[in-house]
A and B are shown apart, each in its own frame.
Chain A
Amino acid sequence: MMELNTQRMEDFKGIYRYLVVFISLAFLLIFIRLWSLQVIMGGDLRRLSENNCIRLRENPADRGMLLDRKGRILARNRPSFEVYLVPEDVKSNPEVIAQVGKLLNIPTEDIQQRFDTQKRRAPFKPVKIKSDIDWNELALLETNRVHLPGLIVDVRPRRAYDYGDLASHLIGYLGEIDENELKQSRETAYRMGALIGKYGIEYRWENDLRGVDGGRQIEVDALGREIRPMGVVEPFPGNNLFLTIDLDLQQTAEEAYQDKNGALVAMDPKTGHVLAMVSKPSFEPDVFARNILPEEWKSLVENPSHPLQNKGIQGQYPAGSVFKIITAIAGLESGTITPNTTFTCTGAFPYGNRNFRCWKEKGHGSISLHRAIVESCDIYFYQVGLKVGPDLIAHYANEFGLGKVTGIALPHERPGTVPSSSWKKKRFGVPWYSGETLSFSVGQGYLNATPLQLLMLISGVANGGKLFLPQVVEKVENIYGSKLKEYPPVELGRANVSEKTLQSVQDALRGAVNDPHGTGWTCALKDVKVAGKTGTAQVIKLPDNFKKGDMNRVPLKFRDHAWFVAYAPFEDPKIAVAVLVEHGGFGASAAAPIAKKVIERYFNVQPSAPQKRTEVESDLEDAD
């Protein structure tokens, strides 16, 4: 062990008395303070404590508003009157419970039950009895206020969605904060029972939308009546969001669906700004703003049409003939075909031990690429697909953003599936069969895409290959109107495809809407040139001997989904649309008319009845 040093010990003795003086002074200070609190101010403070008369009253901030691109309000706040009782105050006047119950039409047992379920709250914390009472009830309570000690009526901001279920999936909904969210929000203080964005924009922009809650510390008397505020913190409202959607366009799109289910997304291909986003069936976000009832929740969750899903980004469907765009690009880019390459369509294509058919039973005859897209010939693309091979098709699908999430700032976006030989090996452990290439090249089989992804595809084609991040919020402003955040267009990249290839495809897409025999003729407009592509996504494989006209006899849930993607004007695209109608049957009859209404509305052109051309064949209605 080391030797211990005893030198210069006198230093310590020298400082000893200074330390004693210092410590004594410190304790004297404490004593003086104690004296002033307990003796001088003691009486006042005692009165405050004896009435245990300081109550905390929360004063939640207004949530930021949601506005459309032109500043029209989509979601705002309205005052809602909430009724509370303080159990400690009511204890001495039990008849208050019965009286309040009578005025508000609530059985006394219900109120008692509410008290019991909140046994563990802090003493003197009010218990909510009823929220959002109407004016009559409010007037009744206010006039009887004097006889009802322990009653508190408080005004709270309540979320209000003036257009009901309009754009409900995009806007999202609120819900009471749960335990996990409470834990995660460590430094931003949420109170128990606070409402927090749970879905859609309300969820993603929660931090901008929620303001800073305020509150009051109030001195109350023994009966719980407020005497004077002791401290007040004013709440500060959340920031307002300007969405990219256009209210008129959104309304038109929603109405166009009538009672059909499906999804529509429209965007400006040159900026990525989403102009409309519809998912049907929709829900009433207002139901969530007041606490949703268990039955309501159950019916929403168990509805087979999935009303809580934003099908535009969460629904994954086979792309059907829309995918022929990719197959065509893969063929042209790889040099396997030229715009002039022709194949013969006899209505059927025997391959392996199966007979792959074209939607047109009589066949298209000898057909080139342009006509093959215009008339959506399946057999043409079977043969292109076989020549190009699945991996190259997959490559070009990926170039246009299929098979991965677009990165739109909304929750739960799905990536879809782009199969390839290596994907299949990994997923199923078996090699790719060339028969599968046939399904793949017309967008069936393993291929899955969300409506937003097909919108990205058509926008990319319209935009010379350039892909923009789809965005739903344009800017964030505070309540004084100064801009806090802006979301400029973000270029995700450029599909590596030659100008010439794109031109051939664009021409063909214009033809699909405007040429005689074009499958998308139901979307043709007189004043604006539209380019587009129809598609049909098989839900189940129908028997080989199935007749087209029999579709109406198939049970609804087995009917095919209808697709239509389009952009306009052809010369200088300003809007791109993807429409999916679930179990709608054929693209031309179910989906294209919806796209047409949206495009008409966007360019404010007069609706024109589809000019049925004389040479149109009857089965063009059902074109794939």
Chain B
Amino acid sequence: MQIDRRLLIHFDWILVGFVLAIASIGILNLYSATTKIEISGTPLYLKQIFWVLIGLAIMVTIAFIEYRFYSDVGYIAYSIALFLLIVVLGYGMITSGAQRWVKIGSLSFQPSEFVKIALIMALAKYFHRPPDRKGYSLKQLGLPFILLLFPMGLILKQPDLGTAIILLLVFFSILIFVKIRWSSLLAIVLPGAAVVPLLWRFLKEYQKKRIITFFNPDLDPLGAGYHLIQSKIAVGSGGILGKGFMKGTQSKLGFLPEQQTDFIFSALGEEWGLIGSLFVISLYFALILWGLRIAVQAKDRYSAILAFGVVAMLFWHVFINIGMVLGMMPVVGIPLPLLSYGGSFIISTLIGVGLLLNVSMRRYLF
């Protein structure tokens, strides 16, 4: 493929700069948070560097393929992701009570991570046909709903409440972005809210417990509530200036379970205090606003929706994860982009950034 010289001129260094800054802080933070944990094999931060490098390579590759190609293969990619999800349910390895992993050779990955991207691609393709003056009607939302519900059902069955919630939020964000009629939105949301008590019955015991303990952490100070109390102590004890790099005690002494994944932000808050936390949060804020600008300035509907979907995904991950660590939201397993440890998640995040770059580079073309 001939690479257009103009592409290189318009390469979005600012976006890449934000991503590299967050990822570097992430690796540093992971190094500090996990040094005391005895885990056999390669240290986690080294693995994370490895994943970030692979992810960056994939990101650049994705950025340079014309996005029309993604539009063409949108539904195929979606079907493959869905198929992998089914494989997970059937043959997936079982880790910590849930079937989330597929193993190919010596590599294991979580298909649910890639379903997020696949769903965004499929929805962008569907909504690239414009609505009439008033916006999309209920009738036109049938297929998008099917596109959402299949993977969501499969992911809930794993059970992975966090990823399912992300899918749902990204889906509704896109609906609002592409403009659906207010009446249609109400027609979906109201009955949906009525169904929530029904859905409660389908939640696993541990999921119910987490939601109950969110509203009353003292109910279960040893189990699910324990995360909340400890995480709040960790962040709060950082104060304004933090305890300093490698000086955190809460996270190092093993008070925090899953500190390297979902609760990584508490280690950051403990060691870097309000100053450090604010800095990282500002980076996320800038990244997300920058992404939103890319989406709005895109040259066509498809790329705009694609870019917006990625922005929505990043936003909800950041907002829910930090909200959870700070005890503003129930504990649902949602990792923090570029800060949490996890190969599949790093790569899916960087695929998303690759799509953003892609759209950003081409807004002056055609």
Which residues of chain A have a CB within 8 Å of any CB of chain B? 1-2, 4-9, 11-16, 19-20, 23-24, 26-27, 29-31, 33-35, 37-39, 41-46, 48-50, 52, 54, 56, 120, 122-124, 186-187, 189, 214-215, 217, 230-233
Given contacts A6-B299, A122-B254, A215-B222, whether A15 and B326 have CB atoms under 8 Å apart is no
Chain A residue contacts of B304, Cβ below 8 A: 9, 12
Collect the chain B residues with CB atoms within 8 Å of residue A52's CB: 249-250, 253, 255
CB distance B236 to A230 under 8 Å?
A: no
Complex contact A187–B97 (CB within 8 A): yes
Cα distance A14–B302 in the bound complex, in angstroms: 17
Q: Given the complex of chains A and B, what is the CA–CA distance between A197 and B139 in angstroms?
A: 58
Query: 14 pairs across A/B with beta carbons < 8 Å?
Result: A4-B366, A12-B304, A13-B296, A16-B296, A20-B292, A35-B274, A38-B240, A38-B269, A39-B239, A45-B233, A49-B250, A56-B226, A217-B222, A231-B229
CB-defined contacts of B77 to chain A, threshold 8 Å: none
The reply to whether B205 and A187 form a contact with Cβ atoms under 8 Å apart is yes
Give, as a whole number of angstroms, the nearest-CB distance from B100 to chain A: 14
Contact A4 B301 (CB under 8 A): yes
Q: Which stretch from B56-64, B78-86, B125-133, B348-356 is at the chain A interface?
A: B125-133
Q: Mark B313-352, 1 if CB is under 8 A from A, else 0.
A: 0010001001100111000000000000000000000000
Are the C-beta atoms of A5 and B281 separated by less than 8 Å?
no
Given A124-B253, A215-B222, A34:B235 Cβ within 8 A: yes
Chain A residues with Cβ below 8 Å from B230 are: 54
Total interface residues in chain B, CB < 8 Å? 73
Residues from chain B with Cβ under 8 Å of A24 in the complex: 285
- Within 8 Å by CB of B328, from A16, A33, A186, lies A33
Interface membership of B303, Cβ < 8 A? yes
> Separation in Å of the A191 CB from the closest CB of chain B?
10
- Contact call B176/A49, Cβ cutoff below 8 A: no
**Are B328 and A29 neighbours in the complex by a CB distance under 8 Å?**
yes
CB of B148 closer than 8 Å to a CB of A:
no
Besides A12-B177, A37-B232, A122-B253, 15 other CB < 8 A contacts? A7-B301, A8-B179, A9-B300, A11-B135, A12-B295, A16-B296, A20-B292, A23-B315, A26-B319, A30-B328, A31-B278, A37-B235, A39-B274, A49-B236, A56-B226
Bound Cα distance from A27 to B205, whole angstroms: 32
Known: A15-B177, A27-B281, A34-B281. A123 touches B253 (CB 8 A): yes
What does the 1/0 interface line of B64-75 toward A look like (CB < 8 Å)? 001011011000
Contact A49 B233 (CB under 8 A): yes
Q: Indicate if the CB atoms of A38 and B273 lie closer than 8 Å.
A: yes
* B222 A56 Cβ-Cβ under 8 A: yes
The reply to whether B239 and A38 form a contact with Cβ atoms under 8 Å apart is yes
A433 → chain B, closest Cβ, in Å? 51
Whether B223 sits at the interface, judged by CB under 8 Å, is yes
- CB-CB nearest in chain B for A24: B285
B237 at the interface (CB under 8 A from A): yes
Q: Which residue of B lies closest to A123 (CB)?
A: B253
Instruction: Determine whether the beta carbon of A23 is less than 8 Å from that of B68.
Output: no
List, in ascending order, chain B residues with CB within 8 A of A232's CB. 221
Q: A23 and B238: CB pair below 8 A?
A: no
* Chain B residues near A19 (CB-CB < 8 A): 177, 292
Checking A23, A45, A233 against B237 with a beta-carbon cut-off of 8 angstroms, the contacting residue is: A45
Q: Is the CB of B69 within 8 A of A1?
A: yes
CB distance B206 to A9 under 8 Å? no
CB contacts (< 8 Å) of B240 on chain A: these are: 38-39, 42
> In the complex, what residues of A have CB within 8 A of residue B299's CB?
4, 6
The 9 closest A-B pairs by CB, nearest first: A231-B221, A45-B236, A49-B237, A4-B300, A46-B237, A42-B239, A8-B130, A37-B236, A7-B130
